[in-house]
């Protein structure tokens, strides 16, 4: 049944900010929501405990005028660290624990509850760092800082003032509820939204808070900075420039509102979204098919994409490119006024108490060694990864970082002696003005492939060819994408003992985890006869052929891939599409082509033999230059990253580079164009450059 084409679709003279957000994603979500009388909640990138987080923060905000003794008794001048501890106890003990005790269902999702608790800790730390810089006792400063919570906003927009409006268009009310209004002694007022979703919807979030800024100015005359606090669960603060936010509202949002009013009267004219990747997960997919029978390939595909709730804390090394709505900058923590203090420690991975203990011991020794030398040093921040402890240092005001630099080498040597193992000796580095100690852990924490896959599930499942590299230094998955133009093929290098074979197995298993053989096939080459033996049966359905072990078998397979590449381009030409993704959208499910990935564990064997070197290089050049759009990709691995073994014609076409431990700085530069891989710890410690700069990570165990 088609949606009615009459003014009856207009159920009120108001449009909500949530509806505007939906219409930015897909205009039909708005009119279908009105026609069905339902509030449309789009599930993609939603957080299962987001509603709980908002409810707890609202309760906490309402209780700021009656703080517990642990907060109300704090005197003026209390340090940010002391206030942080008091706030964390207040939020967790007085608000989270009672919530968990009231509902036994939380016990069934311990991982999500841990993330919720960490997000609350991050929120408490954020407030403490801000309030500690304000005048007066902390309790009073907090009450001033969170000026309003769950701020109801409503304004009337004169449609006649929007270019392109019809004559006599009238007015429309815009209603919304912002999460908070912050006011402190140093920064301009801030209109704030809390988000527990990943950055996939960051542009929509910024558009939403930009509209709140406009409504607040219309209603109260307050010029507020749009701010998004994103908890993944680690906090990222995004502040939008006020002028950019206003341009976004004037040029994009107000014209959209004008069109939304028109669509209320003519719902059949509502256009489809240009975000075809969201159709399979849309809650209005069925009503959309009835109201708008014209085919949308992603929406009407026979087999929906495997989508799941958005993971927390992703680092996407090669993200999907999107057109920015406005120019905003995301920072790991809010900029503080002069004299403010930054949060000293990053969140600990769940269950990694050993790492926390090691870090605290190392911090105490570092501070003690500097004190013995008459140097005042401070711990600015610590990051505990699976293999490393990273400690960022600072000095008190009016002190010089030169004092740290002068004594750092001596401190490192003494720390190695105290730790009893030269392999545990920290290194001291200067990184973009920061002074950092980096030390191996005595007891590394295992990184499991299954955990990283679950955290990256939604993004990985959207398109074949996406993969897990490992766990980044701050505990988030590092992900890559072969369908990205910057990384269509990979070069992997690492000496014996570096963990290269383990990494390749995890890479292959991760890529086959969320896609059927009809959409993803693998060609594995294993001259050593040991790399893929234990996973061959597990991924047998995805293999285009048995694992290849002989050099003589590889060249014919490369020729087959070149021929298949040419065949696919002929098909693309017939369908007037540019790449595999577009082709699979316009053909029936049974005609879709699989993305094909060839993994060669030791391609140096093909270069040692004179008769195979030239044809191998020729095939690599052809596939490297043209095969990405055809959905054919190469992953070439070697133990010998030398100029002779990785000639320029190979390296130029392998955009993604992953270096495990290598024997020298020269080898590191061959792979990454910079040194550093020679200092890695081995056993899966790696540096990945997937077109966005080097990222250090720990490869997972499969």
User: Taking the C-alpha atoms of 405, 409, 415 and 421 in order, what is their torsion angle to the nearest 10 degrees?
Assistant: 150
Q: Is the pLDDT of residue 556 over 60?
A: yes
**Chain centroid offset of residue 562 CA:** 35
Which domains, and CATH codes, for the chain? 10-259 (3.90.320), 353-440 (3.30.980.40), 449-698 (3.40.50.300)
pLDDT band at 2 (very low <50, low <70, confident <90, very high): very low
Direct distance between the N- and C-terminal alpha carbons of the chain, in angstroms, rounded to an integer: 50
Alpha-carbon distances of 131 from 86, 87, 178, 394, rounded to whole Å:
12, 11, 21, 21
Q: Is the pLDDT of residue 33 over 50?
A: yes
The pLDDT value recorded for residue 275 is 64
Q: Is the pLDDT of residue 331 over 60?
A: no
Task: Pick the most confident of 11-25, 76-90, 526-540, 638-652.
Answer: 76-90
Q: Is the pLDDT of residue 146 over 70?
A: yes
In the block, tokens 């490369």 appear at 558
Q: What is the Cα–Cα distance from 373 to 403, expressed in whole angstroms?
A: 10
| Full-model pTM | 0.53
Range 453-462 average pLDDT: 90
pLDDT band at 322 (very low <50, low <70, confident <90, very high): very low
Q: What is the Cα–Cα distance from 532 to 221, expressed in whole angstroms?
A: 66
Lowest-confidence region among 290-294, 362-366, 637-641: 290-294
Q: Is the pLDDT of residue 585 over 50?
A: yes
Q: Is the pLDDT of residue 555 over 50?
A: yes
The pLDDT value recorded for residue 307 is 29
Residue 637 contacts residue 599 (beta carbons within 8 Å): yes
The single-letter DSSP state of residue 413 is H
Residue 152 contacts residue 177 (beta carbons within 8 Å): yes
Q: What is the Cα–Cα distance from 117 to 211, expressed in whole angstroms?
A: 30
pLDDT band at 59 (very low <50, low <70, confident <90, very high): very high
State the CB neighbour count (10 A cutoff) for residue 406. Answer: 12
Q: What is the Cα–Cα distance from 362 to 103, expressed in whole angstroms?
A: 40
The pLDDT value recorded for residue 314 is 35
Helix axes 110-131, 50-62, angle to 10 degrees: 40
Q: What is the Cα–Cα distance from 451 to 114, expressed in whole angstroms?
A: 15
Q: What is the Cα–Cα distance from 354 to 441, expressed in whole angstroms?
A: 9
Q: What is the Cα–Cα distance from 656 to 622, expressed in whole angstroms?
A: 17
State the CB neighbour count (10 A cutoff) for residue 468. Answer: 25
Range 617-622 average pLDDT: 85
What is the pairing mode between strands 225-231 and 235-240? antiparallel
Residue 193 contacts residue 212 (beta carbons within 8 Å): yes
pLDDT, one tens digit per residue, over 247-300 is 999 999 999 999 999 888 888 888 888 765 566 657 677 788 788 876 665 555
Q: What is the Cα–Cα distance from 543 to 506, expressed in whole angstroms?
A: 16
In the block, tokens 């991924």 appear at 539
Residue 445 contacts residue 674 (beta carbons within 8 Å): no
Q: Is the pLDDT of residue 47 over 90?
A: no
pLDDT band at 470 (very low <50, low <70, confident <90, very high): very high
Lowest-confidence region among 136-145, 161-170, 340-349: 340-349
Q: Is the pLDDT of residue 46 over 60?
A: no
**Looking at 78-224, which runs of residues are DSSP E strands?**
146-158, 171-182, 190-195
* Burial state string for 203-228 with b = 16 or more CB within 10 A and e = fewer than 16: bbbbbbbbbbbbbbbeeeeeebbbbb
Measured over all CA atoms, what is the biggest interatomic distance in the chain, rounded to whole angstroms? 82
């Amino acid at each position: 049944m088609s949606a009615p084409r009459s003014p009856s679709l207009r159920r009120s003279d108001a449009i909500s900010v949530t509806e505007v957000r939906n219409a930015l994603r897909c205009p039909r979500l708005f009119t279908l929501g009105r026609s069905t009388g339902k509030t449309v909640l789009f599930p993609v990138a939603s957080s299962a405990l987001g509603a709980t987080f908002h409810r707890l923060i609202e309760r906490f905000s309402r209780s700021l005028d009656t703080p517990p003794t642990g907060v109300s008794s704090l005197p003026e001048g209390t340090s940010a660290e002391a206030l942080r501890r008091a706030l964390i106890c207040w939020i967790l003990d007085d608000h989270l624990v009672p919530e968990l005790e009231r509902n036994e269902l939380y016990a069934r999702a311990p991982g999500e509850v841990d993330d919720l608790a960490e997000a609350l800790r991050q929120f408490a730390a954020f407030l403490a760092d801000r309030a500690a810089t304000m005048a007066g006792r902390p309790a009073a400063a907090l009450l001033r800082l969170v000026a309003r919570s769950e701020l109801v906003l409503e304004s009337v927009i004169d449609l006649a003032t929007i270019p392109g409006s019809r004559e006599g268009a009238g007015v429309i009310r815009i209603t919304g509820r912002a999460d908070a209004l912050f006011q402190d002694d140093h920064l301009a007022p801030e209109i704030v939204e809390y988000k527990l979703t990943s950055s996939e919807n960051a542009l929509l979030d910024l558009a939403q808070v930009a509209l709140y800024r406009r409504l607040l100015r219309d209603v109260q005359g307050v010029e507020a900075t749009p701010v998004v606090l994103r908890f993944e669960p680690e906090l990222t603060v995004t502040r939008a420039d006020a002028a950019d936010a206003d341009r976004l509202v004037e040029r994009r949002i107000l014209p959209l509102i004008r069109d939304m009013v028109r669509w209320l009267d003519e719902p059949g004219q509502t256009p489809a979204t240009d975000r075809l990747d969201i159709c399979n997960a849309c809650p209005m997919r069925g009503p959309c098919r009835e109201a708008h029978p014209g085919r949308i390939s992603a929406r009407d595909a026979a087999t929906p994409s495997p989508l799941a709730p958005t993971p927390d804390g992703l680092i996407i090394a090669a993200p999907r490119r999107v057109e920015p709505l406005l120019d905003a900058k995301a920072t790991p923590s809010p900029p503080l006024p002069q004299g403010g203090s930054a949060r000293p420690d990053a969140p600990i991975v769940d269950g990694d108490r050993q790492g926390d203990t090691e870090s605290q011991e190392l911090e105490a020794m570092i501070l003690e060694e500097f004190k013995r030398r008459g140097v005042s040093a401070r711990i600015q921040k610590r990051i505990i990864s699976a293999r490393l402890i990273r400690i960022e240092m600072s000095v008190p005001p009016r002190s010089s970082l030169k004092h740290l630099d002068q004594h750092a080498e001596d401190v490192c040597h003494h720390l190695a002696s105290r730790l009893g193992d030269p392999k545990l000796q920290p290194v001291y580095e200067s990184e973009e003005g920061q002074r950092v100690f980096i030390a191996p852990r005595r007891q590394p924490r295992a990184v499991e492939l299954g955990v990283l896959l679950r955290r990256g599930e939604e993004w990985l499942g959207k398109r074949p060819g996406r993969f897990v590299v490992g766990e980044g230094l701050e505990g988030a998955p590092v992900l890559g994408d072969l369908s990205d133009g910057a990384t269509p093929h990979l070069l992997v290098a690492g000496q014996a003992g570096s963990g290269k074979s383990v990494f390749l197995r995890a890479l292959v298993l991760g890529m086959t985890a969320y896609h059927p053989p009809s959409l993803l096939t693998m060609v594995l080459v294993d001259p050593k006869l040991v790399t893929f033996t234990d996973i061959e049966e597990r991924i047998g359905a995805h293999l285009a052929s048995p694992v290849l072990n002989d050099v003589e078998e590889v060249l014919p397979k490369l020729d087959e891939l070149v021929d298949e590449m040419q065949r696919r381009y002929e098909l693309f030409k017939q369908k007037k599409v540019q790449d595999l993704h577009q082709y699979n959208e316009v053909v029936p499910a049974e005609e879709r082509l699989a993305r094909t990935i060839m993994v060669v564990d030791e391609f140096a064997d093909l270069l040692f033999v004179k008769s195979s070197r030239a044809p191998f290089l020729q095939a690599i050049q052809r596939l490297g230059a043209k095969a990405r759009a055809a959905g054919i990709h190469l992953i070439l691995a070697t133990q010998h990253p030398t100029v002779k073994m990785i000639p320029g014609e190979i390296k130029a076409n392998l955009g993604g580079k992953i270096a495990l431990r290598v024997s020298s700085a020269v080898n590191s530069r061959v792979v990454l164009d910079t040194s550093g891989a020679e200092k890695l710890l081995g056993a899966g410690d790696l540096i990945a450059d997937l077109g966005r700069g080097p990222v250090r990570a720990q490869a997972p165990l499969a």
